[in-house]
Amino acid sequence: MKFSLNFLKQFVEITIPAKELANKLTLAGLEIESLKKVSDDWVFDAEVTTNRYDWLSLLGVAQEAAAVLGKKVKINYPKIKIRPSLTDISVLVEDKKDCPYYLARVIEGIKVAPSPDWLKKLVVNCGMASVNNIVDITNYCMLKWGNPLHAFDRDKIEGDIRIRRAKEKEEFIGIDQKRRILSKENLIIADSKKTIALAGVMGAKNTEVTPSTENIFLEAAKFSPVTVRRSRRHLGLDTESSYRFERRVSEFFVSYASQEATDLIEELAKGKNPKFKEIGKKTEKQPKDIIIKLSEMKNYLGTDFKVGKVKKILESLNFKIKKATTDKIKVKPALSRLDIEREVDVYEEFARIYGYDRIKAKIPFLKKSQKNFSVLGKEEKFWEFKNKIRSFVSLSGFSEIITYSIENNQELSLFTEKRGPKLKNPLRRQEDSLRPVLLLGMVKAAKHNLNRGKSGLKFFEIADTYQEDKNSVKEKPFLSLGISGKKTKFFLLKGQVLEILNYLNITTVQFKESKKKSLGNALEVIVKGKVIGFLGKINKKEKGRLGLKEDLFISELDLRLLEKYKRDKKFKPFSRFPAVGRDISLAIEEKIKFKEVRKIIEEEGEYLVDLAVIDSYQSKELPKGYFAFTLRLFYQSKLKTLNSNEVDDYHNKIREKLDKKTGIILR
Amino acid sequence: MAAEIKKIKNNFQKDLENAKNSGSLKKLKIKYLGRKSKISELFSNIPNLAKQERGYWGKELNILKNQISAAIEARLAEKNQQEERMDLTYPARLPDKGSSHILSSVTSDICLIFKELGFHIISGDEVEDEWHNFSALNIPLEHPSRDAFDTFYLDLSKKNQKSGDWLLRSHTSPSQIRMMQKLTPPLAVVSPGRVYRPDVVDATHSFMFYQIEGFAVGENLSFADLKGVLLHFAKQFFSQKVQLRFRPHFFPFTEPSAEVDVSCVICGGNQAEGEGRCSVCKGKGWLEILGCGMIHPNVLEACGIDSNKYQGFAFGMGVDRIVMQKYQINDIRLFYENDLNFLKQFPI
């Protein structure tokens, strides 16, 4: 909210520079976001928190300024005149809940003209446009008291006033000239023939005050905050008026606001014969008395102070001290402070004026209970586990990515049969579901980088996946890995998966060939009969459709299951004698799987401790459909150094067995 | 004999100059010092000399032998060094290293600072319900205070009968509620994670971002303790030199509430105007980093905690914003775009 320093000075004496006042108000909780000098005035732009409806009035701000400056507020309350009564127009309120109180005045013979300079300046310096004397006066009173007012052209009102909900699809053209379609969410002011205002939000064009207006109907009211909120949200419309009604306006000030506007219209616009009518009751309760105990407040704030200080500060906020002993104070909050409901609210009032900076920081000793330790400790272990995986995988050369949990349902369905929970109110249609798998995010991150000339990517992400489960949503944290590049990178990914499992000492892993959506080449990772994840290659077709410039290999592993199956490491004795390597070059027919070759080799392997593919290639010298590679076999004994002849013997046996198998050619 | 020695010296000098590499030097060693060398031959001739000359020529030959040996060794060492020499100005070859995302490494750093003080680290669920996200936190359903928490709702096949509609949490505070419901004080927990708000993505908004929530409940925890905990955090995370400013604010779930500013980490709280104005804090000297306060008794009561016996504090911070301030990152989208040029700037 914007307010002018000169306006403020009408109610409280201010002798310090504007900048200093801004700082003091900020440190009391009325944050001044910007401060600007405008000729002989200063414009303050304040962020008013939603609890402080009183700060949406100059009088509320003045009260605050008085408290931080140690001054008194001076307010001249206008004398309320309720005679003569307004009788030639009746006002009917359909539902008192929507509008508990309505105050109308009709003022005759007015002369619409530009406002005098002083009024113009104050209104403009409070961030509003100067329109004419009538509108400016209503705005001036709203700014001062916090109660929005609206002036209608009396002669354009046909018949009586009704305050009711709009009909479905009813049309409304506001003073901003825009056409809006209303619904039952909107509370309106209507005459016998038409809608003349969106209650608490905006007046209609059809009854607007114009230069030719002679008589006006002045509205002051209390509309339900929830009703105004729903109404303006439904239309996506936010005005100075709705802003205040939504946050609550003071019933105690509504009569003063209306009276002062009437007085000013008489004075500045030659208005005559004001007539008065009120409908409903001021039902608002007064703030309750609150008893605070000083010892408790000290314990709460963690600082020490004297009872006199507390009394002084509360009084500076216009709170009434009804009773005070050395430890107890009975206090009645200011009339416009219905937000003060409990002891802690009073503590805050004291603390913010006393100064948060005067409360000395200290570091607590945080106690723990055995039960909490075991419950929380278990969850904390999982957090640490995720961190360990993160550093292990990043140290393996992978870069961590963070991708959105919200994705497009259709795109997701290309990769998985699982359905992610749908959003009721997506921001954009492209992002309408929570993801049940991570891999789409991986694909997008890869594509972004491949399109920018990067290649050979190695990415990972640790994030939750989501699936609807009975009556709720099951969140499962997963690790995803992605590698881009040549076909053989599949095996790098497979190796990385094995490295992670090995790091966790999960040794009983099986890979099972399977088919997944968009992943023709895929393996399921199985531990103790349970599928804990998969790895696979994005199909050519999807690769093309997604516009990926390299093949992409993706794995996902269930982190809860990894944590479940991980085992502590145990030292394994190792051979002290050297290992000897021997190579075999061979070609195999495509239909023979490597695991068959491995089986033949391992059957013979008394001293065989390891085998590795050190080269693989395709060659024109080979028969059609054959693929060649070189294996290096390692031999080692636990008991002695193997000599060359012994190793050759074992190695030759293996060669002979391989040679006998059809589809395998030794080279 | 003298002539022989001189001749050997001259020949050796020429041979040494001609020796191009360590191999030819090794050959020279054999030629001049080996068993079949001229020097050996002369040594074996010594007994044939006159008795009084033997000692003299013996010494001369030894001197010659040592000189040649030393010369060869010296040249050999020189050659060896030359042959091994590499061009050390070649560019470095970088190892294939990965990286942790700056948001997760900073999240972890921050949580560990609080862990030192005795907080437990828990990651809560992201799918929540209205009760845990709003009502239990003293946020009325139809109130302007909810505007700060625009929320994504979920469309599940079955309605949540008990606690209002399902939604994606718009802050990490519901995990505070869950912990307080489940456990009895004393309690101290920090809870990091993703949160969601339907904000159109631009340089400062993202519909998904990271928060860290922290709270402690005990019998005597005070506002002073809250200040101490946050000051410790700021000094550990930013630098020992930073200061904090606690500004009164309003959050429905805390009372008293405060927003906390840190003295600008870039200009040091200089508050310069005009030319020298700091671009990060815009000359204000302070950067807002988090919200905090004493947990509202309504919140404790909603979780079944006796607010007469227990009191506590809570705080919440946006990780994205803090990282942007600390590392001078000007666009939040960089975090979620995953460009390697960005990721690689913050290795592990």
- The answer to whether position B64 is within a domain reads yes
Mean pLDDT of B173-190: 95
Interatomic CA distance for residues A222 and A99, integer angstroms: 6
B134/chain A closest Cα distance in angstroms: 15
- The answer to whether position B261 is within a domain reads yes
Mean pLDDT of A322-347: 94
A229:B225 CB<8 A: no
Alpha helical stretches, state H, A94-248: 117-125, 133-145, 225-235, 240-247
Please say which residue of B28, B54, B84 terminates a domain: B84
B152:A423 CB<8 A: yes
All residues of chain A having their beta carbon less than 8 Å from the beta carbon of residue B339 are 448-449, 452
Does residue B334 share a domain with residue B195? Answer: yes
How large is the C-alpha radius of gyration of chain B?
40
Range name among A19-33, A36-50, B158-172 with the lowest pLDDT average: B158-172
B126:A246 CB<8 A: no
CB under 8 Å to A139, separation ≥6 — which residues?
A: A123, A126, A128, A240
Nearest to B107 by CA among A390, A250, A31: A390
All residues of chain B having their beta carbon less than 8 Å from the beta carbon of residue A352 are 248, 256
**pLDDT of the residue at A169:** 93
- The answer to whether position B93 is within a domain reads no
Comparing CB atoms, the residue among A382, A397, A473 nearest residue B166 is A473
Does residue B156 share a domain with residue B72? Answer: no
All residues of chain B having their beta carbon less than 8 Å from the beta carbon of residue A445 are 338
Residue of B nearest to A298 (CA): B222
A400:B104 CB<8 A: yes
Specify the DSSP element, H or E, that contains A180: strand A179-181
Residue of A nearest to B294 (CA): A300
What is the average pLDDT score of chain A? 94
Determine the residue type at A624: K
User: pLDDT digit string (tens) for A448-493?
Assistant: 999 999 999 999 999 999 999 877 899 999 999 999 999 889 999 9
Q: Is pLDDT larger for residue A534 or for residue A368?
A: A534
- The answer to whether position B96 is within a domain reads no
Interatomic CA distance for residues B255 and A361, integer angstroms: 17
* pLDDT exceeds cutoff 70 at A574: yes
A169/chain B closest Cα distance in angstroms: 24
Beta bridge partners of A324: A329
Residue of A nearest to B178 (CA): A376
B104:A390 CB<8 A: yes
CB pairs under 8 A between A and B: 270
All residues of chain A having their beta carbon less than 8 Å from the beta carbon of residue B340 are 399, 449, 454, 457
Q: Which of B340, B344, B345 to mutate to test the interface with A (most CBs of A within 10 A)?
A: B340
Does residue B252 share a domain with residue B196? Answer: yes
pLDDT grade, residue B229 (50/70/90)? very high
Exposed / middle / buried, residue A74 (Cβ in 10 Å: 0-12, 13-18, 19+)? exposed
A108/chain B closest Cα distance in angstroms: 38
Does residue B192 share a domain with residue B232? Answer: yes
Determine the residue type at A340: I
Look up the CATH number of the domain holding residue B117: 3.30.930.10
Please say which residue of B52, B84, B116 terminates a domain: B84
A7/chain B closest Cα distance in angstroms: 25
B157:A468 CB<8 A: yes
Q: Report all structural domains of chain A as residue ranges with CATH numbers, in order of start.
A: 2-69 (3.30.56.10), 91-280 (3.50.40.10), 290-354 (3.30.56.10), 376-565 (3.30.930.10), 580-666 (3.30.70.380)
Does residue B143 share a domain with residue B57? Answer: no
Does residue B183 share a domain with residue B155? Answer: yes
Nearest to A388 by CA among A450, A462, A315: A462
Does residue B186 share a domain with residue B38? Answer: no
Determine the residue type at A498: L
B232:A405 CB<8 A: no
Please say which residue of B32, B50, B84 terminates a domain: B84
User: pLDDT digit string (tens) for A203-254?
Assistant: 999 999 999 999 999 999 999 999 999 999 999 999 999 999 999 998 889 9
**pLDDT of the residue at A65:** 97
Does residue B137 share a domain with residue B54? Answer: no
B255:A427 CB<8 A: no
Does residue B130 share a domain with residue B62? Answer: no
**pLDDT of the residue at B348:** 66
- The answer to whether position B319 is within a domain reads yes
B318/chain A closest Cα distance in angstroms: 16
CB under 8 Å to A479, separation ≥6 — which residues?
A: A389, A393, A460, A461, A462, A500, A533, A556, A557, A559, A562
B99:A473 CB<8 A: no
Determine the residue type at A220: A
A51:B156 CB<8 A: no
**pLDDT of the residue at A58:** 97
- The answer to whether position B97 is within a domain reads no
A27:B228 CB<8 A: no
**pLDDT of the residue at B49:** 86
User: pLDDT digit string (tens) for A401-444?
Assistant: 999 999 999 999 999 989 999 999 998 888 899 999 999 999 99
Q: Which domain holds residue B53?
A: 2-84
**pLDDT of the residue at B209:** 97
Interatomic CA distance for residues A321 and A289, integer angstroms: 9
A363:B223 CB<8 A: no
> Is A350 within 8 Å of A297 (Cβ atoms)?
yes
**pLDDT of the residue at B143:** 80
CB under 8 Å to B161, separation ≥6 — which residues?
A: none
Does residue B79 share a domain with residue B135? Answer: no
Does residue B214 share a domain with residue B67? Answer: no
All residues of chain B having their beta carbon less than 8 Å from the beta carbon of residue A457 are 340
Residue of A nearest to B114 (CA): A366
**pLDDT of the residue at A547:** 92
Query: Which of A423-432, B209-218, B321-330 is predicted most confidently?
Result: B209-218
CB under 8 Å to A184, separation ≥6 — which residues?
A: A165, A166, A167, A168
How open is the CA angle A132-A135-A138, to the nearest 5 degrees? 140
DSSP string, A603-622: HT-SSEEEEEEEEEE--TTS
User: pLDDT digit string (tens) for B82-98?
Assistant: 888 888 899 998 887 89
Q: Which of B101, B113, B197, B229 to mutate to test the interface with A (most CBs of A within 10 A)?
A: B101
**pLDDT of the residue at A619:** 79
Does residue B236 share a domain with residue B167? Answer: yes
* Domain count for chain B: 2
Nearest to A146 by CA among A69, A267, A263, A63: A63
- Residue A96: how many CA atoms within 13 Å on its side-chain side? 7
**Peptide bond preceding B186 in cis form (omega within 30 of 0):** yes
**pLDDT of the residue at B262:** 93
- Other C-beta atoms closer than 10 Å to the C-beta of A593 total 11
- The answer to whether position B210 is within a domain reads yes
A366:B231 CB<8 A: no
Interatomic CA distance for residues A312 and A310, integer angstroms: 5
A473:B127 CB<8 A: yes
Q: Is pLDDT larger for residue B186 or for residue A428?
A: B186
- The answer to whether position B94 is within a domain reads no
Comparing CB atoms, the residue among B98, B120, B126 nearest residue A395 is B98
User: pLDDT digit string (tens) for A246-289?
Assistant: 999 988 899 999 999 999 999 999 999 999 999 998 877 789 99
| Token representation of residue A95 | 């539902």
What is the average pLDDT score of chain B? 91
B223:A351 CB<8 A: yes
